[in-house]
């Protein structure tokens, strides 16, 4: 477990270093972003010195790490807001959306996958397969406006976008969750079909266990590993922010903040967002490993 | 399965009513303001909101001449201006009166800020002195007869400046609207009648339209493709208003490129674009062909500039005269904005009969703008927004204004034009620019606003400002 954590720290440090170097390699100068195109060379140099941007890269990286250690991400170049405040506002919004999308994905995907596996090669299986393939092929920039048109404009049940109402989260969560459920349906079906032909399932049935017990307690548990892998990967992506969905639904999440900061060359915000996203991936991976252990006690962390 | 279906239905059925805040006027905007401190704000949304929260010393009249707002002024000498504050000025939103000390504190603090993008504009100020309660004297290092036109920064209260108040996210001015809150959406309140006005960022144009149709927004303005504007015009429940525009769209050319340095090539490109067809087919009403950066109604505009007619045969002939082997291959850089990319593809198609093979490179805004500033382009498309003073000609075309200390991104150097600009001979200067074509002028895009039928007293303005939010009304009984 200790070595697992050490490797995680190494990954985070690598991400920090890589982001720092990449940001200094891409064209664009934070001083120019701040002062615009009218400032004199002397003013630019004065501000560059003030921000420590005239120091060697290694010193700048050291300063950056030092500030990070004190929880100081710096201020946004454009809004002048402390970045930690931006992250505190944006990340919980992404977390809420990701968890609800995951819940919807799991609630639809796993039962439908089980159903399709039990009805394998029947018409019900074909219907589920066609629907799930359709959903996984629907891009968010299409599905989002369609959901808005039907549920907000035509039926008037839900708000079009924004974060004002408690129900505002439903449409973006469905837009994300449907895609996820389609993938989970396919994965659950495939994984379960493999397990259902195993000897231990035949034994369970021979012992006279009910079909429900056989499926839920024996087959599904054995089929969980690939499902956990997919859920872990998808959750990592969701926590990294789903830029298109967040943009379409005016959902102020971390993904939108990251992309906007890149567009506006707001480098400190970009660095902080990438760090948060990387940490999310790392933690989700760690959690996925823990879940493996629960799903299959034979597995070890190392 | 049943419970799953039912739970999803239940999620949908806990529906909310869209008109939870019936009396609030909700403005769906494409880009939220970034910074409400007028000493830092540069983006269009922040400047438009700041015009409502703060009041500057000076603004502009319909011909873009500087007009007094808080003051009247007197030219003491070439380098000294005396400003006298008007009587009965509205107090700041924190109820302190606006005095000459606040004016001095605002401009002193601006000059002291190392990271303000506006500080350079005021580098010519030598000293600011206050006489009595209402008199401010600006002494300049060098004569500048356009100095009053620069005093458009909103005035801040002195005591809050001294306390290091965060005006960026908690602005205090003395404008028509005062700040209420900024969580997900920006909420302001009109001082005269307490009308609440909120601004919500909705980036996607289709979603803005859906919000208007659903009644979640009362007003939207600009940044819509024309087909959506036409769609809204067909809706009886929506009122669409249009006005002429003053924001200048153009093709920038790299004058250091050996091909584009040739005047005949630039003329050929100008003749290869059918501006009127683009305006008629894919732009909102009241868009018009442009001649110079400043529109004809501006005191430094030029209404005598003859537009370059669409003539691909002439364009081809000009390229042949220039000794160019056809097709002429050029790279056009633009942002990823859908409307910009659409214009690019139209230009590409229009230029083909003229023997110009245009390659489109659509880049994210940061990369695109960086390339433009670095001179890493052959052609690019941009728009000048909210330009009021003729100084723009010198900054955009003067040989001393190459980036990073000016906007002459095409690196155009013309001694004759420099002389005209120094002497402020605007008709001659704009004519020279029109003949030499360091920019290919395109159009001033028309402005429009779409609103619910119960919203009135709001009209779009040529520069796209939101000043009518000071007068807008919403009849909640309709």
Q: Stretch B99-117: mean pLDDT, rounded?
A: 94
Best of B32, B120, B371, B398 to substitute, by most chain A Cβ atoms within 10 angstroms, is B120
Question: Taking CB atoms and an 8 Å cut-off, how many pairs form between chains A and B?
Answer: 152
Name, of A1-5, A268-272, B120-124, B152-156, the range with top average pLDDT.
B152-156
Do A164 and A262 have their domain in common?
yes
Strands (E), B8-167: 25-29, 58-60, 66-68, 71-77, 80-85, 125-131, 135-140
CA A201 to each of CA A98, A192, A212, A226, B21: distance values in angstroms, whole numbers, following the listed order = 35, 11, 12, 18, 59
Do A198 and A271 have their domain in common?
yes
| Inside any domain, residue A74 | no
- pLDDT value for B384: 95
Do A222 and A280 have their domain in common?
yes
- pLDDT value for A171: 95
Q: In the predicted model, is pLDDT for residue B21 greater than 70?
A: no
A262 touches chain B (CB under 8 A): yes
Do A169 and A38 have their domain in common?
no
Question: Cβ–Cβ of A158/B185 closer than 8 Å?
Answer: no
Question: Cβ–Cβ of B117/A35 closer than 8 Å?
Answer: yes
- pLDDT value for B6: 54
A108 touches chain B (CB under 8 A): yes
Helices (H), chain A: 2-25, 30-35, 41-50, 57-69, 83-118, 123-137, 140-147, 170-196, 199-206, 211-213, 220-222, 224-239, 243-248, 254-263, 267-295
Do A30 and A105 have their domain in common?
no
Q: Stretch B126-131: mean pLDDT, rounded?
A: 95
Tell which CATH classification among 3.40.1390.10, 3.40.190.10, 3.40.50.2300, 1.20.140.10 matches the domain B16-31+175-241+447-474: 3.40.190.10
pTM, entire model: 0.85
Closest Cβ opposite residue B213 in set A44, A153, A161: A153
The Cα–Cα gap between B153 and A154 comes to 46
- pLDDT value for B9: 53
Q: Stretch A85-92: mean pLDDT, rounded?
A: 92
Q: In the predicted model, is pLDDT for residue B343 greater than 80?
A: yes
Do A98 and A27 have their domain in common?
no
Q: Which chain A residues are within 8 Å of B42, Cβ to Cβ?
A: 36
- pLDDT value for B19: 47
Question: Cβ–Cβ of A36/B117 closer than 8 Å?
Answer: yes
- pLDDT value for B114: 86
User: How is residue A205 written in tokens?
Assistant: 């049935």
Question: Cβ–Cβ of A111/B4 closer than 8 Å?
Answer: yes
For B335, the enclosing helix (H) or strand (E) is strand B328-335
CA-based nearest residue to B161, from B64, B92, B255: B92
B70 contacts: CB under 8 Å, gap ≥ 6: B55, B56, B57, B85, B86, B89, B98, B103, B155
- pLDDT value for A40: 82
Q: Which chain A residues are within 8 Å of B171, Cβ to Cβ?
A: none
- pLDDT value for B10: 54
- pLDDT value for B18: 46
Percent of chain A with pLDDT strictly greater than 90: 37
Do A154 and A119 have their domain in common?
yes
Question: Cβ–Cβ of B120/A78 closer than 8 Å?
Answer: no
- pLDDT value for B347: 97
Q: Which chain B residues are within 8 Å of A43, Cβ to Cβ?
A: 114, 119-120, 123
Cβ-contact B260, B266 below 8 angstroms: yes
Closest Cβ opposite residue B16 in set A41, A46, A165: A165
- pLDDT value for A241: 66
Cβ-contact B44, B35 below 8 angstroms: no
| CATH (residue range B55-162) | 3.90.76.10
Do A55 and A167 have their domain in common?
no
Do A166 and A99 have their domain in common?
yes
- pLDDT value for A34: 83
For B348, the enclosing helix (H) or strand (E) is helix B338-351
- DSSP per-residue letters across A50-85: HTTTTS-HHHHHHHHHHHHHTT---B-TTT--BHHH
Question: Cβ–Cβ of A167/B15 closer than 8 Å?
Answer: yes
Query: Nearest CA of chain A to the CA of B88: how many Å?
Result: 33
Q: What is the pLDDT of residues B234-249, one digit of tens each?
A: 999 999 999 999 999 9
Domain final residue pick, A69, A91, A124:
A69
Q: What is the pLDDT of residues A212-251, one digit of tens each?
A: 888 888 888 888 888 898 898 888 888 876 888 998 999 9
Distance between the two ends of chain A, CA-based, in angstroms? 7
Q: What is the pLDDT of residues A33-72, one digit of tens each?
A: 788 777 888 888 888 888 888 889 899 899 989 988 888 8
Q: What is the mean pLDDT of chain B?
A: 92
Domain final residue pick, A25, A44, A69:
A69
Q: What is the mean pLDDT of chain A?
A: 88
Residue A215 DSSP class: I
Q: Stretch B320-331: mean pLDDT, rounded?
A: 95
- Domains: count for chain A: 2
User: How is residue A27 written in tokens?
Assistant: 């064209």
- pLDDT value for B478: 58
Question: Cβ–Cβ of B120/A44 closer than 8 Å?
Answer: no
Q: Stretch B458-478: mean pLDDT, rounded?
A: 91
Q: Stretch B407-417: mean pLDDT, rounded?
A: 96
Q: For residue B5, what pLDDT band results from cuts at 50, 70 and 90?
A: low
Do A114 and A164 have their domain in common?
yes
Do A175 and A32 have their domain in common?
no
Q: What is the pLDDT of residues B43-58, one digit of tens each?
A: 899 999 999 999 999 9
Residue B468 DSSP class: G
Q: What is the pLDDT of residues A123-139, one digit of tens each?
A: 999 999 898 888 888 88
- In A, minimum Cα distance to B120 occurs at A39
CA-based nearest residue to B48, from B172, B152, B183, B192: B152
| Inside any domain, residue A111 | yes
Q: How large is the C-alpha radius of gyration of chain A? A: 24
- pLDDT value for B365: 85
The Cα–Cα gap between B356 and B358 comes to 6
Q: For residue B17, what pLDDT band results from cuts at 50, 70 and 90?
A: very low
- The structural domains of chain B, with segments of one domain joined by +, span 16-31+175-241+447-474, 55-162, 248-444
Q: In the predicted model, is pLDDT for residue B342 greater than 70?
A: yes
- pLDDT value for B68: 87
Give the residue with greater pLDDT, B452 vs B72.
B452
CATH topology assigned to domain B248-444: Dipeptide-binding Protein; domain 3 (3.10.105)
- Shared fold status for B16-31+175-241+447-474 and B55-162: no
Which residue range is the domain that position A19 belongs to? 2-69
Q: For residue B271, what pLDDT band results from cuts at 50, 70 and 90?
A: very high
CATH assignment of the domain containing A280? 1.10.3720.10
Q: In the predicted model, is pLDDT for residue B424 greater than 50?
A: yes
Domain final residue pick, A69, A91, A115:
A69
- pLDDT value for B3: 52
For B51, the enclosing helix (H) or strand (E) is helix B44-53
Q: In the predicted model, is pLDDT for residue B148 greater than 80?
A: yes
Percent of chain B with pLDDT strictly greater than 90: 82
Do A178 and A268 have their domain in common?
yes
The Cα–Cα gap between A249 and B238 comes to 22
A78 touches chain B (CB under 8 A): yes
């Amino acid at each position: 477990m200790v070595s697992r954590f050490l490797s995680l720290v190494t990954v985070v440090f690598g991400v920090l270093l890589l982001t720092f170097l990449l940001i200094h390699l891409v064209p664009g100068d934070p001083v120019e972003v701040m002062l615009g195109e009218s400032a004199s060379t002397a003013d630019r140099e004065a501000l560059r010195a003030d921000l420590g941007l005239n120091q060697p890269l290694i010193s700048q990286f050291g300063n950056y790490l030092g500030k990070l250690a004190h929880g100081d991400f710096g201020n946004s170049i454009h809004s002048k807001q402390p970045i930690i405040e931006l992250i505190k506002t944006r990340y919980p919004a992404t977390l809420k959306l990701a968890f609800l999308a995951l819940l919807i994905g799991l609630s639809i995907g796993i039962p439908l996958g089980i159903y399709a596996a039990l009805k394998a090669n029947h018409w019900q299986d074909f219907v589920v397969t066609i629907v799930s393939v359709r959903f996984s092929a629907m891009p968010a920039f299409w599905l989002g406006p369609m959901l808005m048109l039907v549920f907000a404009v035509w039926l008037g049940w839900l708000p079009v976008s924004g974060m004002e109402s408690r129900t505002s989260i439903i449409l973006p969560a469905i837009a994300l969750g449907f895609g996820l459920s389609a993938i989970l349906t396919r994965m659950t079906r495939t994984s379960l079909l493999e397990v259902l032909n195993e000897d231990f399932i035949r034994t369970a049935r021979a012992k006279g266990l009910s079909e429900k017990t056989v499926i839920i307690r024996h087959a599904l548990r054995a089929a969980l590993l690939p499902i956990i892998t997919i859920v872990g990967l998808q959750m990592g992506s969701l926590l990294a922010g789903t830029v298109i969905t967040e943009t379409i639904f005016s959902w102020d999440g971390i993904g939108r903040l990251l992309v906007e900061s890149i567009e506006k060359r707001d480098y400190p915000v970009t660095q902080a967002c990438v760090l948060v996203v990387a940490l999310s991936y790392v933690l989700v991976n760690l959690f996925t490993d823990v879940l493996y252990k629960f799903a299959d006690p034979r597995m070890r962390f190392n | 399965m049943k419970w799953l279906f039912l739970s999803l239905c239940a999620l949908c059925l806990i529906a909310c009513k869209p008109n939870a805040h019936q009396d609030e006027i909700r403005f769906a905007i494409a880009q939220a303001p970034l910074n409400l401190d007028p000493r830092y704000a540069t983006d269009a949304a922040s400047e438009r909101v700041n015009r409502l929260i703060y009041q500057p010393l000076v603004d502009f009249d319909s011909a873009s001449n500087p007009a007094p707002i808080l003051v009247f002024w007197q030219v003491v000498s070439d380098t000294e201006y005396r400003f006298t504050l008007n009587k009965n000025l509205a107090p700041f939103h924190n109820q302190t009166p606006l005095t000459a000390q606040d004016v001095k504190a605002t401009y002193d603090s601006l000059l002291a800020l190392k990271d303000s993008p506006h500080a350079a504009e005021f580098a010519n100020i030598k000293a600011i002195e206050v006489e009595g309660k209402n008199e401010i004297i600006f002494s300049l290092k060098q004569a500048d007869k356009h100095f009053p036109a620069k005093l458009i920064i909103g005035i801040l209260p002195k005591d809050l400046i001294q306390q290091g108040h965060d005006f960026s996210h908690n602005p205090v001015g003395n404008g028509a609207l005062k700040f209420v809150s900024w969580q997900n959406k920006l909420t302001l309140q009109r001082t005269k009648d307490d009308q609440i006005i909120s601004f919500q960022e909705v980036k996607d144009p289709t979603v803005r339209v859906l919000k208007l149709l659903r009644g979640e927004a009362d007003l939207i303005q600009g940044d819509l493709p024309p087909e959506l504007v036409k769609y809204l015009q067909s809706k009886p429940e929506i009122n669409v208003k249009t006005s002429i525009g003053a924001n200048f769209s153009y093709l920038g050319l790299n004058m250091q490129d050996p091909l584009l340095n040739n005047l005949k090539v630039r003329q050929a490109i100008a003749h290869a674009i059918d501006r009127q067809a683009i305006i008629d087919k894919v732009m909102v009403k009241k868009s018009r062909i442009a001649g110079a950066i400043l529109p004809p109604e501006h005191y430094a505009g030029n209404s005598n500039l003859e537009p370059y007619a669409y003539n691909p045969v002439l364009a081809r002939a000009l390229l042949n005269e220039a000794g160019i082997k056809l097709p002429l291959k050029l790279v056009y850089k633009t942002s990823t904005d859908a409307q910009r990319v659409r214009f690019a593809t139209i230009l590409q198609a229009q230029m083909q009969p003229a023997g110009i093979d245009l390659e489109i490179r659509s880049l994210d805004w940061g990369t695109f703008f960086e390339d433009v500033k670095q001179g890493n382009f052959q052609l690019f498309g941009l728009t000048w927004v909210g330009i009021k003073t003729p100084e723009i000609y010198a900054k955009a075309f003067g040989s001393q204004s190459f980036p990073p200390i000016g906007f002459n991104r095409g690196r155009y150097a013309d001694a004759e034009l420099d002389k005209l600009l120094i002497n402020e001979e605007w008709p001659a200067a704009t004519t020279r620019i029109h003949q030499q074509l360091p920019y290919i002028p395109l159009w001033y895009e028309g402005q429009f606003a779409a609103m619910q039928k119960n919203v009135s007293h709001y009209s779009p303005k040529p520069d796209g400002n939101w000043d009518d939010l000071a007068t807008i009304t919403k009849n909640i009984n309709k």
